[in-house]
């Protein structure tokens, strides 16, 4: 850990030499200034932990230097001690009003100076810890809000989650203490641990990999899976192997905070200050947030997969008495997704239509098999009964919001742009986009499959019927924009059919 930095300002060189002789042997880093202007300029450009100011300096006295520094938020927690031979109450009040934390009378007692400096630095350290705690609470709140805002359970990846909290922990002003300089992350994999080391260099997070297993070194020396170690701890016997391990990675650790469990190990190293259980709690909170989202993502994916499987099974059941094979419903979903992507719909729409389009004929469960499998042309009465599968499908799928698109598709995939479709003879934009997409997708696949009343057409024939018409099917049946999109990607339809035939 870096030594505490003390700035001493006095216009008498002998006094500065005396302060250096007193402070340097005690491990302090000392910078001297011979006037107030020099002291003010240095303090504004460098980090200092405590300032000793002589009051009676020419040009800019100690009162003025103190006042100007304390007007800057950066020096609110930096103790300033006025060294003065002035004894009057008025002078002391003036110093208090300027913002000074303490006074030492000249000639000063060396023991008193050292004791007051140690006390003020300890107070600053506690104040800094409080400030870090406040900052960390705000940062964790913001981090949590962003996690929830950006959380996509179907796409959540632990490695990406780790990258986010790495940025949260080490990103920031490199010149100011408080955040660790290095973050080490281990993710458990089937073949062992994958280790990464992150550091800030010139404002950029730099990542590197290594093979050393630090997880056992952490858990061997500690009964808990979270903890913090300062320099004195790292020099103790039980943590010596960990220190050697870090040294093997060219890391000279002054302190560290860690979280280590069977799935994820995180170690934050070299904060530039003493670390406490609060730092361990902050790190643990960030790790647990990420691991909670990973667990939640796994559960949601499992639930979603089960839901999709059930829906696919239901969709296949609807075609048990139809001529189509189960691959028909799969192909229609793929055609629909390809059209939606070409039309510029968002990924959520594309995923939903791919998944829910296969339920377009779910209402055929209510249509008698004799009608579905009749080898000849349907009578007018039979055709009217068959058309009801759209309405029945809407009833089966109900009002649940998760199946809203499937219900819309079931009700509208036989509607036509020119208003000649069924069941409600909707026209133009009154037909929802998903229904207009399904009209072409379903029609293309029907043309490619054999029926008792027609053969299976090849792609060029089916394409010509859709784009030019054959009397039964007309281009006017389709939304012009959807038809134009189909023309552009018709080769994808052919590829999908061949792949899933």
Q: Mind listing the pLDDT tens digit for each residue in 159-173? A: 777 777 777 777 655
Q: Percent helix, strand, coil in the chain (nearest 5)?
A: 55, 15, 30
Contacts of 146 by beta carbon, 8 Å cutoff, 6+ apart? 164
Q: By three-state DSSP, how is residue 188 classified?
A: strand
Residue 66 clears pLDDT 70, i.e. is over it: yes
The more confident residue out of 434 and 323 is 434
Residue 493 clears pLDDT 70, i.e. is over it: yes
Single out the residue of 325, 403, 390, 329 nearest to residue 363, CA to CA.
390
Q: Mind listing the pLDDT tens digit for each residue in 205-236? A: 888 888 888 888 887 656 568 888 998 888 87
Query: In the chain, pLDDT over 70 holds for what percent of residues?
Result: 89
The predicted model gives 438-443 an average pLDDT of 96
- Max mean pLDDT range (21-25, 60-64, 181-185): 21-25
Tokens matching residue 69: 């520094």
Tokens matching residue 389: 């599968």
The more confident residue out of 232 and 394 is 394
C-alpha neighbours within 13 Å on the C-beta side of residue 58: 3
Q: Delineate the domains of the chain, giving CATH numbers in brackets.
A: 5-125 (3.40.50.2300), 151-297 (3.30.450), 318-500 (1.10.3210.10)
Local structure of residue 491 (DSSP, 8 states): H
Residue 178 clears pLDDT 80, i.e. is over it: no
Q: Mind listing the pLDDT tens digit for each residue in 101-146? A: 888 888 878 898 899 999 999 888 888 777 766 665 666 566 666 6
Q: Mind listing the pLDDT tens digit for each residue in 273-310? A: 888 888 888 888 878 877 777 777 778 888 888 888 88
The more confident residue out of 319 and 497 is 497
Single out the residue of 76, 24, 74, 70 nearest to residue 45, CA to CA.
74
Q: How far apart are CA 280 and CA 86, in angstroms?
A: 47
CB 360 within 8 A of CB 410: yes
SS (H, E, C) 148-169: HHHCCCCCCCHHHHHHHHHHHH
Local structure of residue 179 (DSSP, 8 states): S
SS (H, E, C) 201-246: ECCEEEEEEECCCCHHHHHHCCCCCEEEECHHHHCCHHHHHHHHHH
**Dihedral sign of CA atoms 169, 174, 178, 180 in order:** positive
**pLDDT value at residue 336:** 97
Tokens matching residue 293: 């989202």
Residue 188 clears pLDDT 80, i.e. is over it: yes
The predicted model gives 66-74 an average pLDDT of 90
The predicted model gives 427-446 an average pLDDT of 96
Residue 50 clears pLDDT 90, i.e. is over it: yes
**Dihedral sign of CA atoms 162, 164, 166, 169 in order:** negative
Single out the residue of 279, 283, 291 nearest to residue 187, CA to CA.
291
Contacts of 275 by beta carbon, 8 Å cutoff, 6+ apart? 228, 229, 230, 255, 256, 257
CB 78 within 8 A of CB 89: no
User: pTM for the whole thing?
Assistant: 0.54
**Dihedral sign of CA atoms 390, 391, 395, 400 in order:** positive
**pLDDT value at residue 367:** 87
Cis amide leading into 118 (omega within 30):
no
């Amino acid at each position: 850990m870096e030594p505490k930095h003390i700035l001493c300002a006095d216009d008498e060189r002998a006094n500065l030499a005396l302060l250096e002789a007193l402070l340097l042997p005690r491990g302090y880093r000392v910078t001297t200034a011979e006037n107030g202007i020099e002291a003010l300029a240095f303090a504004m450009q460098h980090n200092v932990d405590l300032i000793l100011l002589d009051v009676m300096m020419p040009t800019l006295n100690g009162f003025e230097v103190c006042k100007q520094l304390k007007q800057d938020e950066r020096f609110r927690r930096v103790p300033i001690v006025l060294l003065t031979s002035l004894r009057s109450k008025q002078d002391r009040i003036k110093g208090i009003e300027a913002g000074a934390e303490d006074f030492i009378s000249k000639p000063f007692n060396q023991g008193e100076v050292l004791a007051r400096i140690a006390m003020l630095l300890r107070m600053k350290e506690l104040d800094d810890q409080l400030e870090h705690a406040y900052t960390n609470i705000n940062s964790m709140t913001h981090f949590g809000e962003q996690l929830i805002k950006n959380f996509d359970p179907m796409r959540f990846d632990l490695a990406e989650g780790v990258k986010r909290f790495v940025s949260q922990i080490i990103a920031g002003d490199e010149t100011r203490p408080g955040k660790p300089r290095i973050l080490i992350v281990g993710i458990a994999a089937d073949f062992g641990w994958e280790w990464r080391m992150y550091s800030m260099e010139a404002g950029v997070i730099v990542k590197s990999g290594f093979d050393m297993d630090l997880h056992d070194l952490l858990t061997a020396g500690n009964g808990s899976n979270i903890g913090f170690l300062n320099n004195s701890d790292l020099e103790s016997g039980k943590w010596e192997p960990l220190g050697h391990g870090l040294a093997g990675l060219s890391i000279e650790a002054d302190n560290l905070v860690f979280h280590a469990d069977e799935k994820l190990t995180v170690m934050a190293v070299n904060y530039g200050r003493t670390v406490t259980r609060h730092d361990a709690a902050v790190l643990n909170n960030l790790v647990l947030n990420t691991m909670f989202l990973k667990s939640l993502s796994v559960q949601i994916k499992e639930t979603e997969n089960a839901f999709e499987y059930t829906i696919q099974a239901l969709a296949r059941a609807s075609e048990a008495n139809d001529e189509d094979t189960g691959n028909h419903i799969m192909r229609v979903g793929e055609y629909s997704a390809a059209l939606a992507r070409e039309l510029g719909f968002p990924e959520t729409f594309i995923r939903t239509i791919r998944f829910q389009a296969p339920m377009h004929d779910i209402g055929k469960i209510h249509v008698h098999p004799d009608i579905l499998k009749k080898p000849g042309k349907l009578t007018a009465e039979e055709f009217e009964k068959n058309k009801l599968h759209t309405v029945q499908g809407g009833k089966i799928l109900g009002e649940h919001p998760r199946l809203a698109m499937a219900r819309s598709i079931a009700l509208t995939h036989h509607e036509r742009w020119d208003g000649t479709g069924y069941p409600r003879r909707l026209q133009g934009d009154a037909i929802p986009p998903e229904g207009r997409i399904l009209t072409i997708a379903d029609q293309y696949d029907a043309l490619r499959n054999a029926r008792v009343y027609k053969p299976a057409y090849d792609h060029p024939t089916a394409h010509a019927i859709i784009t030019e018409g054959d009397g039964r099917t007309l281009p006017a049946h389709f939304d012009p924009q959807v038809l134009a999109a189909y023309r552009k990607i018709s080769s994808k339809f052919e590829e999908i059919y061949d792949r899933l035939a």
